[in-house]
Structure 1
């Protein structure tokens, strides 16, 4: 209110006409203070800052309220919309009680624009309108007439006789406190103050275009535009911040923890939180998660925790996704049950008889036992919570009921009290085609297939892999305890090499040295050793350790002088598949490959079809789609036989057609890795680490997964690879711990109006463990139902929603091209926000306000980052890199997709190596990431209390050091004015110019700072389950433009050539979304 009075006062006092006003801020007494917004920080040339840093938000009201412009406000949806009285006419006199203790700020210095006006608007934004003599609604009046309107803004509207839309009418000061927060979410105000109106310069509104040099063209920081050139009427600090949201989400649980006796951050998945969205993915690792009858969000994360009762209600949301992100083998983190899934050995109805009837299941839908089964007739029957059928309880599983209708033994049976549990699957569990799967089978096998062609040998790949396996295989080969609880069982191992032939090796313990058998028949490849186990192909590691050591030592010597350049791939997979099926075993094939299969006589030969000119055009889908159906059919055969494939592609600069070869890991459930311009001296550590993680993270083989849902809801589609064999059913040869699928749900009928009857979802994964025994892992999830659109928005999860939308958009990209895929994402974002504004916001709100739902207020910044990411718009990278990123995004879980599209940027220079270094750093830098109100505790790695900052170049300082990681790559950016003491402690040099940027690992120095930074890097790699290669970047280096490309809140470097405006900054994209919403609202 006082802010509006200040505007009225400004119109009466000429001396205030030139002052630029910011949104009101509040001091500890609750009195508002108008201050001038200082320009944003940026890494200026030679480390000099030409303007003051942006101050932190000083709002001391209820927790979680952000001080943002009224036109860009987010708040929880109200329950029923309430009407508001019409605004009062504007006052013609200044407010009588302007606080005297807070004088108006000095006017900011005016700077002329440094570049001539543009003659065209940014691509993808509305065309300019003829200049008018009045300002657009909600925006400041323009300066003297320009030759063009401001780029990226909606066309001007006719003048109005009432106050600008988005400003509340002047009211008397209120003394009562703000309303309490909505249950489950913190209450936000009903609108953000509109942009400042003073000193409005149309040609300074948007970022530089192609003709203007600047940071958004990926030039070195020395050429970054001056602060005057970066002025905009909407400051990024006034926009919803991803970092603030992550911080507020964790604060919700910390507030409840402070009231508890233990003081620990706790989250219970069960009836207490049904209908509420789970913690954000960045908060999960910071909480103690307890399974209280519903699966943890680590395993099953819903897009909506309150499911609409009708399909019409879902359609009215404008595009809200109804689905699940399922990662059944994901390791539990900080679980109250000890960090692992409970083994429910008591969930069997039979007593040694074996067979499928030994597991208690619904007689109709075959659902496994869950806490949501209703017990009838004193426990003699139970009613299925999924289909409603009643099943007789086996006599061996019978138990009496207590006075509440629950079984008296429920506390001792994990399947009756937990959302996630495992059961042994005894006897003949199921048949897949003509192959029967039994409980007791040979332990799984892991085969390492090593390329020994000319390129592999001369790049060092062959020697590197052989040496690492010889030294480290016993250390990283996974194992598990046998059913007897005493012995440890590990998978059997096998080795083969290939160029244009396949070389099998007999490693039977009875031999004195390895035997080699060559398969040169590539038309019908086979395993020459007969039964793989009895023939010595798959052997126990400990029994044949001497022979394995001899083999791995001799392979590099045997092929050192090879001249074979043609290689095969399909026959290698077929021969390995024959070896597994001959002995009835399952397992994984680890392929270490170098390039395009070009052998003329071999099936699966691929031709050179790379044409980078097609990237970024509508024809790129033909380049990014698999060619032929050979590898897809081969992958399905492997999946059906229980064989997973991990593919490590170690290429030189040549094309390898990953779009086609990637089908092998994508469908079989394996992992994909790519190393461009591979050399053993530069990529050796990364490859060795990834190899260890890929082998140790796979604990499930020969998998079959099924999604069951309550009556009225069914599975419509599954995204994320694997072999889809039916509605809600998929098969995989292996299931890595980091693989996740996105499941779309649909309405089959109207759901019951009873709020007490939840919607249930069950994921059952049947698999073979490392010991060779069959198990079934069950995850149960309970969701509330609702008939109100506001409840749907209140329960939406932005991480799960965007993970599902990305995977669906990648499918669309391969069918209809990149423009359709990106347009679909933006249109769905606009549709969701428009429906919220139309149905969930009070009618009295001005159309000039962009009001965002609390749970989805980060959707614009995330969608903007997605559409300009390399996975959707990588025209400046190789075709194989583009295919590689698309495959990775299709396999990611919600955590990985979140960090990939919005990277973690953390200052690390405030970690003092010593007392002297801490004293040398200036006080501002020592507190960077702590005191400016823009960081979050959500990225607290290694208990170092690191703070995350927003992904923008404006946040970088030349005397700072910043670590950026996105789950795939990692950068350490060094400013030109970094402390010499810090450099000595971490790099052993006293100047940034002396730092070696060609090294991919930090020097191992015996200093506190060196140990802390290296520990941080190692922890990030461990959490991402992938070895992130580290790039050390200095200002002006060749990798700096690549680093700056991950600052997703800034404009992309190829904005002018990306087409349709894909690549705009966060501010410009939000303006575009606002314009589209206003257009839809009429």
Structure 2
């Protein structure tokens, strides 16, 4: 097939890009936008560039908390026979079953798509609008993407669901071997049915067909899930009618031999969970030495040089970079036909992974371009550095990106434009985010009895964007334009620029984030709140006692109670504590300081819960120290011989709620629970786990609570300010979807330790517990987001309760939780005035002080789509899309949710291609510069455990991950969906920094090296089979690869530079994450390697998730279909 080859104008991915179409890019180059005034606020008379942070008024600065961490507990290691994940036992297999001499059967031909109706165009304009010269910075992925033959007329559909990201943590600790017959993961292929596929010209190669069974449908999600209806696209994906004669660019060559012997077909839709065999491990790094492929005549290798502008990107891995090899086209290649009949001509070589956008390259470029300068927030609509970049923030009138990040910093002026682009307008808000020590905490402003100054009409709080008029006697609201009198005590004259002369002395006039001390009007029942209380509620059933958990908790609490959160200037915490133990009945303890010994009171009538004592239940730790210590010594002994296996759950929450009601305070319940609550009591549950529901219309019931009882209980808890944190230690199904309801709706956290074992899990549990007890929490919180005229907040995602459409209510909100808010147009916006957001959080501090925390952000508005696409942030977009999809599974089949995500992203990219990119061949995939990672990250979301579970992912894991992700911030979702992979072998032992990350693909791993992969929940240390003996000795303290124990939960402390460096890397990563990550040692070709490979997200997943290359091809096909 001869096709003309065109040289590209697009530069390589690894290089910093020039501005789009002649525009400068403030996000990446730090240059000012033309037409934007140099004053720090543009139209809002903000502080001038020389502004310095004022010295706070006496007494108003809140010092950082001073509580240190308690001493770490040491943990023993697990016996070497123990293995945490039995079903990954595949014996000594690197990538599946070794190739044998027997002939391998080809997979059946992929299922055809149904031809669909004509697609609806994305926008009314059908011509390309071109602004200025063709963009040099647009990424044109045409190499390998145009004029190629695809192996079958019947373009393959999306594959079935697969392992995602939430770690499959629920596998019993039993070691076991893996049988190849009849297993869920390896099923022999059946012989191919039907005629051999014919070859058809198509703009994109699909080396492995990316998606499953049915065509992308236009079916909309039910209306009770708001906003889930993307514009319809074509119902089917038929074979493309593209002919190579249309001048589509010809693919350049890739280094490496031609893939002559490989026939690749899609996975059969009836058997989703298998892979074909790769070559044996010994031949992995070079061409396959097998017998010659008789009868398979591929095209001769092209001889023309690679196109200019697409140089090979630096691999990032150490040692020799492997090019693609024959019969090894990625992680799970097709099967060579040894000695079989001649097959059809093989498909073309797959896209070179080095020629498509690399997350690692984008992250590194942003770090080098934007990591050295502080991010100054004085300019409207400024895109911040990526979450993966370390940078300092100088607040000059807009809230720090640590508090608020947006999907786009330039909002379309009209709703039509927003609908046309399909880019969601959303903000991810983390109101109590922890700041690095170099940045100043929000100042606390006290306006006395009159309280904060607010707009008369919309009640927005005083902020830097309010305009003072009439000599300072009145101000015009920047949100609703209403004019309000300035209270006499707040009056101040204006200078010649119209700015108040005390501008720099008042945080609320010069800063984006600050706090007000609330007056009694902002308190419940017009009464200032009491300090909050912590109640520890410990399951003392047989499982909890036998596992050593009860003793561990009691021992830890003795020291941990000295580290309760406190205000910066207080010597001791104002928080009071109480203790309850339970199995089928509840035991309350009187720990009043005047008692010599604690007293126990039992409530066996769990149907009508009450608290049997008031005085002595909630106490000050210092006053009752000896009684509390005595109680914590006695509890493990008291229940040491228990035979009670049944537990209650709802009455435990009711008891804590009643105790807080009686004490008239807010607080938090720490519940340590081990089993499904089947004892006779309110909220009793049954085991309803049913794997057969997966991929059916009833799958959504697995995510829904099985009774409405807990929803009502959650509502009562929120009303009292009773937040519930849940520590789960299940050995079997526990129904997280139901037990987590109260936690989720009160703003609490769920922690899960499946098959808890003291030796391997105590470090992780104790670190999580310490952080959970010590971290900053706002109690009895209400959040409202106000916007300027033209847009309004319409939808909210996160762990909270809403009794109306505007107020987000949380019994507790900690420093790790985010609320994601979606905005919609209700009027036209003006390019001149921009758009404003104000997030106001009313909460009770840990000392019992009622406060208002205010965050303000100003955004630009645009009339050109190009401006929208130039100011988006993909990481925030993915955070929003994941939460949107994870909520969608509560009311819609998972397939519908997946299709809606793919459709929306195809619409976003098709709109860009149609309206912003310069005209070019349809064989080229053109992505906006700041969205070039959208396909790879979206594929990661689609392959996650919630949307595409593998056979070993439990129902509880999926419900747990679904709830966890819903409260994650942008940095957490970034590493959760695209884990960080670090090579350790060549790490510089003298440097304090982390080694440079590499891409998440098995192709990047070398057998002679050690790698670390982290995803925010787990840290895997992968050891190659050929690692030097000296390195193994230095890191693990054993002399050979075979002696490394899988049971290690911590790295041994050895006195050598390599051990110190690796342990310091692990410590650095642990500090960055909100949860303590579980350490898992993975040896190459070991059972656990399957679990590790599940997180190599650029590869095809075992359960059918597409590889990055295949998904990019699939997205290109979707985009072309929308544009045709």
Query: Which residue of the other structure, out of 345, 348, 356, is the alignment partner of 1:239?
Result: 356
Query: Which residue of the other structure, out of 519, 523, 548, is the alignment partner of 1:426?
Result: 519
The aligned runs of 1:805-820 (5 Å cut-off) are: 805-820=881-896
Query: Which residue of the other structure, out of 639, 651, 662, is the alignment partner of 1:582?
Result: 662
Contact residue 913 and residue 1010 of structure 1 kept, 8 A = no
Query: Which residue of the other structure, out of 925, 948, 973, is the alignment partner of 1:850?
Result: 925
Query: Which residue of the other structure, out of 761, 785, 788, is the alignment partner of 2:837?
Result: 761
Query: 2: CA distance between counterparts of 1:718 and 1:967?
Result: 24
CA distance 1:160–1:945, shift in 2 (3 Å): closer
Query: 2: CA distance between counterparts of 1:817 and 1:557?
Result: 49
1:944-996: CA deviations, max 9, x gaps?
23211100000000111111010111100000111222222221112111111
1:58-91: CA deviations, max 9, x gaps?
xxxxxxxxxxxxxxxxxxxx99445889xxxxxx
- How far apart are residue 426 of structure 1 and its match? 2.6
The aligned runs of 1:514-913 (5 Å cut-off) are: 514-530=598-614, 535-600=615-680, 602-652=681-731, 654-752=732-830, 755-842=831-918, 844-876=919-951, 877-911=953-987
1:796-834: CA deviations, max 9, x gaps?
111111111111111211101211111111111111111
TM-score, normalising length from structure 1?
0.77
- How far apart are residue 473 of structure 1 and its match? 2.9
* Corresponding residue of 1:275: 381
CA distance 1:822–1:869, shift in 2 (3 Å): same
1:662-685: CA deviations, max 9, x gaps?
111111011111111112232111
CA distance 1:562–1:222, shift in 2 (3 Å): farther
Query: 1: CA distance between counterparts of 2:453 and 2:202?
Result: 67
Query: Which residue of the other structure, out of 224, 230, 238, is the alignment partner of 2:328?
Result: 230
Contact residue 874 and residue 934 of structure 2 kept, 8 A = yes
Query: 2: CA distance between counterparts of 1:879 and 1:27?
Result: 41
- How far apart are residue 203 of structure 1 and its match? 4.5
- How far apart are residue 380 of structure 1 and its match? 1.0
Which ranges of structure 1 fall in alignment gaps of 5 or more residues? 10-20, 29-42, 47-77, 86-116, 142-151, 168-191, 255-263, 915-941, 1056-1062
Contact residue 3 and residue 248 of structure 2 kept, 8 A = no
- How far apart are residue 756 of structure 1 and its match? 3.0
1:754-798: CA deviations, max 9, x gaps?
x33121101111111111111111100100111111111111111
- How far apart are residue 584 of structure 1 and its match? 1.1
Query: 2: CA distance between counterparts of 1:751 and 1:943?
Result: 48
Q: Residue 567 of structure 1 aligns to a residue in which SS?
A: coil
CA distance 1:379–1:910, shift in 2 (3 Å): same
TM-score, normalising length from structure 2?
0.74
- How far apart are residue 1025 of structure 1 and its match? 1.4
Q: Residue 341 of structure 1 aligns to a residue in which SS?
A: coil
1:120-145: CA deviations, max 9, x gaps?
8654289999977874457799xxxx
Higher relative contact order, chain-length normalized (CA < 8 Å, sep 6+): 2
Query: 1: CA distance between counterparts of 2:494 and 2:10?
Result: 62
* Corresponding residue of 2:534: 446
Query: 2: CA distance between counterparts of 1:128 and 1:703?
Result: 63
Query: Which residue of the other structure, out of 396, 409, 433, is the alignment partner of 1:330?
Result: 433
- 1:299 is aligned to 2:403: yes
1:560-601: CA deviations, max 9, x gaps?
11111111111111111111111211110000000111111x
CA distance 1:160–1:736, shift in 2 (3 Å): closer
Q: Residue 589 of structure 2 aligns to a residue in which SS?
A: strand
Query: 2: CA distance between counterparts of 1:1028 and 1:1040?
Result: 18
Query: 1: CA distance between counterparts of 2:1051 and 2:268?
Result: 37
CA distance 1:1076–1:200, shift in 2 (3 Å): farther
Contact residue 272 and residue 1103 of structure 2 kept, 8 A = no
- How far apart are residue 1077 of structure 1 and its match? 1.0
CA distance 1:815–1:138, shift in 2 (3 Å): closer
* Corresponding residue of 1:313: 417
The aligned runs of 1:52-451 (5 Å cut-off) are: 80-81=130-131, 122-124=156-158, 135-136=201-202, 155=239, 157=241, 159=243, 161=245, 164-166=247-249, 199=258, 203=262, 227-231=325-329, 232-254=349-371, 264-271=372-379, 274-283=380-389, 286-317=390-421, 319-333=422-436, 337-338=439-440, 340-345=441-446, 348=447, 350=448, 354=449, 357-431=450-524, 436=525, 438-439=527-528, 441-451=529-539
- How far apart are residue 297 of structure 1 and its match? 1.1
Contact residue 901 and residue 966 of structure 1 kept, 8 A = yes
Contact residue 215 and residue 224 of structure 1 kept, 8 A = no
* RMSD of aligned residue pairs (Cα, Å): 3.5
Query: Which residue of the other structure, out of 566, 580, 590, is the alignment partner of 1:479?
Result: 566
- How far apart are residue 366 of structure 1 and its match? 1.0
1:159-192: CA deviations, max 9, x gaps?
5555x3147xxxxxxxxxxxxxxxxxxxxxxxx9
Query: 2: CA distance between counterparts of 1:763 and 1:635?
Result: 24
* Corresponding residue of 2:1106: 1064
- How far apart are residue 291 of structure 1 and its match? 1.1
Query: 2: CA distance between counterparts of 1:411 and 1:129?
Result: 78
Contact residue 704 and residue 890 of structure 2 kept, 8 A = yes
Query: Which residue of the other structure, out of 1086, 1096, 1111, is the alignment partner of 1:1037?
Result: 1086
Query: 2: CA distance between counterparts of 1:630 and 1:528?
Result: 24
- How far apart are residue 224 of structure 1 and its match? 5.9
1:870-921: CA deviations, max 9, x gaps?
121124211111111111111111111111000000011113669xxxxxxx
- 1:460 is aligned to 2:460: no
* Corresponding residue of 2:112: none
Query: 2: CA distance between counterparts of 1:299 and 1:982?
Result: 42
Query: 1: CA distance between counterparts of 2:887 and 2:1029?
Result: 50
CA distance 1:216–1:946, shift in 2 (3 Å): farther
* Corresponding residue of 1:497: 581
Q: Residue 946 of structure 2 aligns to a residue in which SS?
A: helix
* Corresponding residue of 2:341: none
CA distance 1:813–1:776, shift in 2 (3 Å): same
1:405-440: CA deviations, max 9, x gaps?
111111111111111111111323144xxxx2533x
Query: 2: CA distance between counterparts of 1:159 and 1:913?
Result: 55
- How far apart are residue 7 of structure 1 and its match? 5.5
1:171-229: CA deviations, max 9, x gaps?
xxxxxxxxxxxxxxxxxxxxx97989995759456788899999888999569695311
CA distance 1:674–1:222, shift in 2 (3 Å): farther
Query: 1: CA distance between counterparts of 2:237 and 2:1069?
Result: 41
1:290-332: CA deviations, max 9, x gaps?
1111111111111110111111010110x21011111101112
